[in-house]
Amino acid sequence: MGFSIDFSKIKAIFKKDFVNKKPPKRALRIVISLLITAAVAAVYYYWKYPCLNVQSQSFWYFLILIAVVFGIVTFAVNGLFSRRSGKPKYKKYAAKTTVMVSGTVAGVCALVLVVGAIVSSVFFSPKKYAKLINLDTEGNFAQEVDEIGFDEIPLLDTDSAIKLGDAKLGELSEMVSQYEVDSAYYTQINYKGAPYRVCDLRYGDFFKWWRNTKDGIPAYVSVNMNTQEANVIMLSNIGNGDGMHYSESEWFNHKLSRYVQMRYPTAMIYEYNFEVDENGVPYWIIPCESKTIGLFGGETISSVIILNAVTGESKMVDIEEVATKKEYNWIDRANSSSLVVEQYNYYGKYRNGFWNSIFGQKGVTVATTGYNYIAQNDDVYMYTGVTSVTNDASNIGFLLSNQRKKQSTFYKVYAATESVALNSANVQAQNYEYNATFPILLNVGGQPTYLMAMKDSSDLVKGYAMVNVKQYQVVSFANDTDPLVCRDKYISLLLSKKIITDESEVETQNNGITGKIADIRTADISGNTIYYIKLAGSASYYSISAADNQNAVLLNKGDTVTISDKAETPGTPIVPIGELGSAQSKK
């Protein structure tokens, strides 16, 4: 006995019942359209999480999207429940409803975007844009930029730091099979007085996230930019021992950008910086901007979100508090380097008016391409060269900007651009086929000086070069991985060319030499115990008798000390010293 279904009869019944139904009331159709639109908007908001702030252009695009969706849904709902959906009369009605509601909303939002962009443009407010950064006074480079010891200088560039971090993670087979170094967030910070780049890890893929997300990311990478030592810092030894549960490689609610934006829906987030506090606990430092000119113009950092990457605890702090309160001294990247450069370019171009930036261009300056970082007083400073818009072959000075406080200073120094200095260094090392990294700006004997690491084709640091900023023909190159060798050659050049007249002009911090003890040895000579101390980055051992300074017997490798007497013969194997200054034990 066969069994079959007559679909034609079912279709006829359904069509008859559907067609004979009276169309629902208009209010019901509107409610249904609103509910469907709200559902679509909620899904979109969760997935894209646009900022809900009238000064954010993404907010107005979101409203346009909602209006368009509402129009489409309204048209569809009327067609579904109207028994005359195929008649021209309905089409006119539906089209009219869609245009009146969704078209009007979308049009108003588009008008706000266009008018807001025009009103906020630099054409109408050049002077306001020029005042986004405060550069009313010029600084004295030799007096205000300290000479720092070579144990405090970041000798690596970002690419080399990334390679070291990848190699270190690769040594841990269990870790490297599940995680990768998230090189997009390699942040340069000062950690306990030394320059570091720190970076979080990310899950290798979705399935590795699924397998490990309960415990979180167990470590982060730390690279000492001076000693070139890379480490994988296990969070099991820090804080509560739990892993990081908030990063960009997380999915759903713990994805960093989604978590932060939905927790602070009106915050206009500028960027995300990965940092660690003085205890090694990982945090996300998130600068948030405000628009100060018109509706969409004049971006400036007004607050900072500080988020614990392990627990997700967070707070929004005014930028002035971050700059002034001691509890936030460990934060290094509260302001954005790219935004500071953009603001300086506004200042350089438009301080004399909009039309002057196009015609005549009197006094128009711009930042050079690229920037780097130096350390001053336990803060990180971004620096970039400044050149005339009509002559990009030489700099007219430098801009230094505190990345926590945004205190910015212009130093007038007529000099070679960074690219010219790179070429000078490459010429000196052409026989070795080395390439210079982007330069670091130093004060050596009161002379602004570029320091560059020289790398081979394998991206390994093989030597260093120093170029005098004012006289870029004065170049010191040393095919040696000890930067002090290059420094000594550079000082000899400065003396021989009478750029400086006395080696004592090459100052050291606090009228002495400060650094961490890399090695310490003892010897008994004529009944006296002699201590031989080698500082990180130093080519010499400094010798002192315990009879002269009993503090020597308390020193250990890793302690920070100040050698009060300057070495009279730098570069020699053993340098006697008469006094040992302050000492600080390692933490």
Residue 537: what pLDDT? 56
Asked whether the predicted pLDDT for residue 89 surpasses 60, the reply is no
Is the separation of the CB atoms in 429 and 463 below 8 Å? Answer: yes
Residue 3 banded pLDDT, cuts 50, 70, 90: low
Asked whether the predicted pLDDT for residue 21 surpasses 50, the reply is no
Q: Which amino acid is at 549?
A: N
Q: Quick one: tokens of 111?
A: 């008008």
* Structure confidence by residue, pLDDT tens digits, 220-277: 999 999 888 999 999 998 877 789 999 999 999 999 999 999 999 999 999 999 999 9
Distances 260 to 149, 219, 304, 500, 524 between C-alpha atoms, Å: 39, 21, 12, 53, 62
* Structure confidence by residue, pLDDT tens digits, 364-394: 999 998 899 988 878 899 999 999 987 666 8
Cβ neighbours, 10 Å, residue 191? 19
Residue 585: what pLDDT? 43
Q: What is the mean pLDDT of residues 95-113?
A: 86
Residue 97: what pLDDT? 67
Asked whether the predicted pLDDT for residue 484 surpasses 90, the reply is no
Residue 498 banded pLDDT, cuts 50, 70, 90: confident
Residue 564 banded pLDDT, cuts 50, 70, 90: low
Q: Is the overall model pTM greater than 0.85, yes or no? A: no
* Structure confidence by residue, pLDDT tens digits, 47-65: 999 999 999 999 999 999 9
Q: Which amino acid is at 13?
A: I
Asked whether the predicted pLDDT for residue 168 surpasses 90, the reply is yes
Residue 81: what pLDDT? 60
Asked whether the predicted pLDDT for residue 10 surpasses 80, the reply is no
- What is the chain's mean pLDDT, rounded? 85
| DSSP-derived 3-state class of residue 372 | strand
Cβ neighbours, 10 Å, residue 101? 16
Residue 568: what pLDDT? 42
Is the separation of the CB atoms in 228 and 244 below 8 Å? Answer: no
Q: What is the mean pLDDT of residues 130-148?
A: 85
Could you write out the DSSP letters of every residue in 285-323?
EEEEEEEEETTTEEEEEEEEEEEETTT--EEEEEHHHHH
Residue 223: what pLDDT? 95
Percent pLDDT > 90 in the chain is 54
C-alpha to C-alpha distance for 435 and 462, rounded to whole angstroms? 10
User: Is residue 464 packed enough to be buried (19+ CB in 10 Å), middle (13-18) or exposed (0-12)?
Assistant: buried
